A = this chain, B = another copy of it.
Amino acid sequence: MGNRGSKQQVDGRRQSVRGRATATAVPKDTKKAYEMLCERLKELSALGGISGLLGWDEMVMMPAGAANSRGAQKSALAGVMYDKKTDPTLGALLETLRAAPAGALDPVAAAVVRDASKDYVKATALPKELAQRIARLETDAYPAWVKAKQASDFSIFAPFLKEWVEVNKEKARLIDPSAPAYDVLLDDFEKGLTSARLDAVFAQAREGLVPLIAAIKSRGAKLDDSWTHGEFDVEAQAALCKKGAEAQAALCKKVWAGGEAQAALCKKIALDLGFDTEHGRLDVSVHPFTGGAHPTDVRMTTRFKKEDVMEGITGAIHETGHALYEQGRNLEYDGLPVNSALSMGVHESQSLLWERMVGLSKPFAAYLLPLLKERFPATFGSATPQQLYEAENTIREPSLIRVESDEVTYPLHIILRYELERGLMDGSVQVDDIPRLWNEKMQSYLGATPPSDAKGCLQDVHWSAGLFGYFPTYTLGAMYATQIYAAAAKDIPGLEDKIKAGDFAPLKSWLNVKIHKLGSLHASGDELMTAVTGGPLDPSVFLTYLKNKYTELYKL
């Protein structure tokens, strides 16, 4: 439906021209072959953009009763994309281009062929039987995990986790028998990283963090953020009510639409940071996310809690970081893998750089406080930037739950998961031992033991989708972020004063040039860090940032 007019026929007919041109043979000429490759990759990129829009619409706009039909649409599109990703002609083109004489491809073209070849291998490696087994497991493991978590009984989920270990080992072997299984899976999320390298990085981080957390804990909870909680939309009303008719209007808008006071504030912040509404949308959704169809069509969402204005703001800053990366992608290479994010870790580095390096900093508190005073005077009217800064960086009792933890304890939640899933893949950890090992590591890293599997090894959904290698990207992002920000601070004179003044343009422009526009040109996060900061990923920068910050905050 939706095509009662003529427009669709027009598009369809226009396509008849291209439609017929697809069955051509593979040219031996490198330039021609590369052009043909790019045409196919751009088509896949456009279909991927449609897939992104479907996902956004489902979360933000779709009527509840359309779930089944949307499922059929996503499935049909995924089928089309699968067929194109595994088209033998695509494989033949890539083979031709990999065989091209050195220097025949410029660095960008070489990166395109490198990443497209990897994708082709991954897309074609699985035999039908394994693909079916994985599809079944994706369907069955999630409800089992939900049931296990509700009953807080790991044994319900264990059989499915065992099968995920098996199929992931088999999948990895088929994709690259020469590499450790975990490394092959990791590459899906963090291009070019190996578990050997990650072992060293995380070990160094762990050794720095455990004593720091112990020290903070021993100081007792000195800081307090309870004063920042309240009833913010109600408060916005009260404040505005004092100001007569015009303010009444603003007030009423807030009363009616709910969360509008916070929404308006978060929108102002996102725009101040550089979000471009000419090439994106801001909406509200249950879970904040950044998606969309293209760098010129970035759809970002936020959410708000009546009682906690800071959570909405932090989420908005985080998503803005993702959105600026997407909007900053290099349109010169539009539709080619080289213009997309290098990895999930690097993507997370952009959200965390803005959320933590900027959003949780002293100068940002000086920028934010007047905005809060204006809208929520009862709570913030008499606060100082230092008080806001301390409240934003309060560390409570180490949380047992990853998603509730702060920037100091979060990495240990990740490292714990990494050590377990890596062990599952190399056989040094057995599925049945997960609950015990989980709790032991929690105790030794964070000094706390989960009272139940529900609050322990069953808390996250990731393993039920067979996602091994995904967790590390969260903490890699946090580490990249500190290192990138340090380089920016060197390059941009008076960066902190600019942030204090709400002038974020210099930092955004610097990131556009140094990170966003580079996309996937480099083969790994280490390569990108070397290009941007002069050296590979260095956990000590992250540790130093945390030590300095919390030593001062907690007078350690």
Query: Contact residues of A with B, CB < 8 Å?
Result: 1-4, 6-20, 22, 42-43, 46-57, 61-66, 68-70, 72-83, 85-86, 126, 128, 131-132, 134-135, 138, 188, 248-253, 255-257, 276-281, 290-299, 322, 326, 329, 334-335, 340-341, 344, 347, 462, 465, 467, 470
Contact = CB atoms under 8 A, between A and B. Distances in A.
Contacts of A46: 69, 72-73, 75-77
Contacts of A2: 48-49, 51-53, 55-56, 291-293, 299
Nearest to A348: B4
Nearest to A47: B76
- Name the prevailing secondary structure of the A interface residues: helix
A288 to B, nearest CB: 13
Contacts of A72: 42, 46, 49, 335
A278 B69 CA distance: 13
A243 B347 CA distance: 52
Contact of A8 (B51, B252, B347): B51
A281 B66 CA distance: 11
A14 B83 contact: no
Nearest to A188: B9
A82 B1 contact: no
B1 A294 contact: yes
Contacts of A63: 277-281, 296-297
Contact of A4 (B1, B57, B81, B347): B347
Most chain B Cβ neighbours within 10 Å, of A13, A188, A326: A13
B128 A16 contact: yes
Most chain B Cβ neighbours within 10 Å, of A18, A329, A344, A470: A18
Contact of A78 (B15, B55, B297): B15
A86 B470 CA distance: 41
A1 B340 contact: yes
Nearest to A248: B248
Contacts of A326: 1
13 contacts: A2-B291, A3-B51, A10-B465, A13-B131, A13-B138, A50-B76, A57-B57, A64-B278, A65-B279, A69-B294, A69-B334, A73-B293, A250-B252
A467 B15 CA distance: 18
A75 B15 contact: yes
B16 A82 contact: yes
Contacts of A462: 6
Given A86-B19, A292-B1, A10 B138 contact: yes
Contacts of A78: 8, 11-12, 14-15
